[in-house]
Structure formats: C-alpha cells, structure tokens
Chain A
Amino acid sequence: MNFFYFASPSTFYRLAGILAPWCFAVAAILGAAGLYVGLVQAPTDAQQGEVYRVIFIHVPAAWMSMFLYFVMACYGAMSLTFNTRLAAMMARALAPTGAMFTFVALWTGAFWGRPTWGAYWVWDARLTSELVLLFLYFGFIALGNAFEDPRRGDRAAALLALIGVVNLPIIYFSVLWWNTLHQGSSVSFKGTSMHVSMLTGMLLMAFAFWSYSIGTALARVRTIILERERRTRWVRAL
C-alpha cells in the first residue's frame, strides 16, 4: 500500500468514518474515569478547598487549546508547501474544536479566579495571551470562509495560522517570563507539584479531550470532504 494512500480525500473519508466512533467511545470512557478520579477520589486541596477541582476541566482544556492550534498550523504549513487538499481540510476541521477549548479554558478560569484570586478577569500576560489565541481561532475561521474559492480561503487561513504560532510560546512561558497573577505550571517535563491522584484525574481528562478532539476533527473533515468533492463521481455514488 502506498504511503500516500490515505492522502486522497475519498480514501480518507472512509478511514475517518471508521475511526471517529472509536475516538468518541474512548473519550467517553476516559472522561468518565477522569471525572470519577477527579471529583470522587482526589482529596480536597489544603489551600483552596474544593474549588480547585475546576482544574480537571480547566488545565486539560487549556492544553488542548494550545496543542490543537499547533497541529492546525502544522497542517496549514503542509497545505502551503505541498499544496495538498486534505491537509487544508484538516486544518479547517480542527479550528472550531480548538476555539471551543480556548473558550472553555477562559470560562472555567473566570469561575476559578473569582473565589480564589478575588477577580473573574485580570489583564495579566497569561490571560491576555490566551484571549488572543481565541481571536486567532476566530480569525482563522472567518478568513477561511471569506473567499468564494475554498482553496484561496485555505491559503489565507493557513498563513494566519502560521503567523499566530508566535503566540503559543508566549502563552506557555508567560508565567515564567513576567510577573503574573496566574500561578506557574504544576506539571512540566521536570516533574509535578501535584498530589498523585489529582494528577491522574487531570491526565485522564487530558487524554479524554485528545480523543474527543480527534473524533470531532475526523467527523468534521468528512462533511468538508463531501461538500468540496460533491461533483466527483465517488461522492455521487454514495
């Protein structure tokens, strides 16, 4: 089998159709396990009490918001260099999920900030750069749809996605580079400052969000393929 076999929209359409339900099933199982560990098994926090449990949604959503943008930009770069149709469609399919996770991170953060910091929102470097990420996602979606010809929209949006990559290290390192109200990272490559069952719940939720993101992206790319290839013989034969 050729390595590029699944780079053709018609073959990838079938592959995505098989994979997507499995992704949703894995997401549901991991999500249920993560919520059980996070909300039932994990102990109360010494400092914040029960309110810290927002972390089980907040941190995985924030991770996904950044990671999905990175993947989206990689697909954008691929579509610009190799002029591949499927990569551009995948970038478009990821954007709404990424924007959703960015919004969830900001929204849960606001409701975490009010009881702990004493404010829903502050203009510190971490919060502001995450808000910029949300607008980058909106810009990507809007720019892609602003052209009559979807291939031109692909190119313009991919370019915007690549420019926005600059924001990712700013979000991630903002708490190290500047004084921020937002606390530093609890989990890094060097280790963690979290109790082990808290960390387990958070990682389970993160993997659930991963699986969900792959599932939604595959389901969405199927509709994009159908829409763009509607005049081809294989779609008519469906």
Chain B
Amino acid sequence: MKPRTRRAIWIVSGLAALGIASALVLNAFQSNLVFFFTPSQVAAHEAPSGRAFRIGGLVEAGSVVHEKDALTVHFRVTDTAQTIPVVFTGHLPDLFREGKGVVAQGRLMGDGTFHASDVLAKHDENYMPPEAAEALRKAGHPIDKAAFAGQKGKS
C-alpha cells in the first residue's frame, strides 16, 4: 500500500468516526438545543418546569389586548393545536403582529399563563413586494400559513 493511500484511509476513517461521534452527541443534546418550546410541547409537559424557558408560535389573530398603561400586553401564542395565554410588560419588537411568529422568554405560572420577560419577533423566509402579498391575501392564501415552517415538535 502506498503511503498516500494509507494517509487517505486514515483521513476518511477519522472523518467518519468524527461524524458519527458528533451525530451521537447532537442526538443526545437534542432537547437542549431547541431555542423555544411549542405550545404543544408545553401541553405535553416537555418544557422545563420551575425555571424560565422560551415558547414560540404564532400570535393568535384577535388575541392582542393592551392594558390601560399601554405597556402591558396580553396575547395568545398558538401552534394551531395548542394555545398559551401570555402577559408581557415592556417594549414589543416592530414585527410583532397578529398572525406572525413570536418567541417569548419567561415562566409558566400555576394558572397556565406565561409571564414573559422578553418578546422576540420571528419572521419567515418569504420575501415579496407588498402588492404580491396583498394579491395572495385576496386569493385566500395568507402568506403566514406556513410562517412557522421548519418548526419541530408540531403535533
């Protein structure tokens, strides 16, 4: 066997071993690598209890209610299967809108409401001019049907 063939075999087998090892490690840490939990996962008690975590989903249409102080806002986060009511006091990001993606960090209270300390907007990967979006809406295909594509753990 030529030395360079031996080196090539070493490199290929090393890379294969490394790939398998990292696949196993990533699989073991699967649940720790998620940025947020979906309402369905929370309902199935997959989210950590007793400490802060993030929930993500769509802001349910018609659920946003501002309190009189104008800073506290109530809304519901849904993944179309399960829904969680959220209370948040603070500044909302510009892209926070009904029917759009949202990720909130906070704690789940005993009464089932989620007290958020931070709210982030999650936008989708569709880019189009306003006229195209309007045309889609009129045709009955709101672009946010699949706004949360790529979401894991959807039941």
A80-B133 Cα distance, complex, nearest whole Å: 52
A83 at the interface (CB under 8 A from B): yes
Interface pair A46/B11, CB less than 8 Å apart: no
CB 8 Å contact bits of A179-194 with B (1 = contact, 0 = none): 1110111100000011
- Closest chain A CB from B126 CB (angstroms): 5
With A122-B120, A170-B26 already in contact, the answer to whether A162 and B14 are too (CB < 8 A) is yes
User: Within 8 Å CB of A110, what residues of B?
Assistant: none
B66 at the interface (CB under 8 A from A): no
B132 partner, pick from A123, A178, A195, beta carbons under 8 A: A195
Name the interface size band of chain A: 35 or more
- From 22 to 47 in chain B, residues with beta carbon under 8 angstroms from any chain A beta carbon are 22, 26, 30, 33-38
- From 24 to 83 in chain A, residues with beta carbon under 8 angstroms from any chain B beta carbon are 43-48, 52, 55, 77, 80-83
Residue of B nearest to A45 (CB): B127
- From 177 to 228 in chain A, residues with beta carbon under 8 angstroms from any chain B beta carbon are 177-181, 183-186, 193-195, 198
User: Within 8 Å CB of B71, what residues of A?
Assistant: none
B130 at the interface (CB under 8 A from A): yes
Interface of A is mostly: loop
B69 at the interface (CB under 8 A from A): no
- From 133 to 172 in chain A, residues with beta carbon under 8 angstroms from any chain B beta carbon are 162-163, 165-166, 170
B19 at the interface (CB under 8 A from A): yes
B1 at the interface (CB under 8 A from A): no
A179 partner, pick from B11, B35, B93, beta carbons under 8 A: B35
User: Within 8 Å CB of A124, what residues of B?
Assistant: 35
A163-B14 Cα distance, complex, nearest whole Å: 9
- From 96 to 150 in chain B, residues with beta carbon under 8 angstroms from any chain A beta carbon are 96, 100, 103, 118-134, 143, 149-150
B72 at the interface (CB under 8 A from A): no
Binding stretch for chain B, among A1-9, A97-105, A112-120: A112-120
Interface pair A47/B152, CB less than 8 Å apart: no
B4 at the interface (CB under 8 A from A): yes
With A43-B129, A81-B8, A166-B22 already in contact, the answer to whether A116 and B123 are too (CB < 8 A) is yes
Interface pair B128/A46, CB less than 8 Å apart: yes
B61 at the interface (CB under 8 A from A): no
A125 at the interface (CB under 8 A from B): yes
With A55-B127, A116-B93, A116-B123 already in contact, the answer to whether A181 and B35 are too (CB < 8 A) is yes
- Closest chain B CB from A75 CB (angstroms): 13
A175 at the interface (CB under 8 A from B): yes
With A166-B22, A179-B152, A195-B132 already in contact, the answer to whether A47 and B11 are too (CB < 8 A) is no
Interface pair B153/A118, CB less than 8 Å apart: no
- Closest chain A CB from B99 CB (angstroms): 11
B94 at the interface (CB under 8 A from A): yes
User: Within 8 Å CB of B122, what residues of A?
Assistant: 117, 181, 183
Residue of B nearest to A77 (CB): B11
Supplied contacts A81-B7, A177-B33, A179-B35, 10 more A-B pairs, CB within 8 Å:
A43-B128, A44-B130, A46-B128, A115-B93, A123-B35, A175-B150, A183-B124, A184-B125, A185-B125, A194-B128
A-B contact pairs, 15 of them (CB 8 A): A46-B132, A46-B133, A47-B95, A47-B100, A81-B8, A83-B4, A115-B93, A117-B121, A119-B120, A165-B15, A179-B34, A180-B35, A181-B36, A186-B127, A194-B127
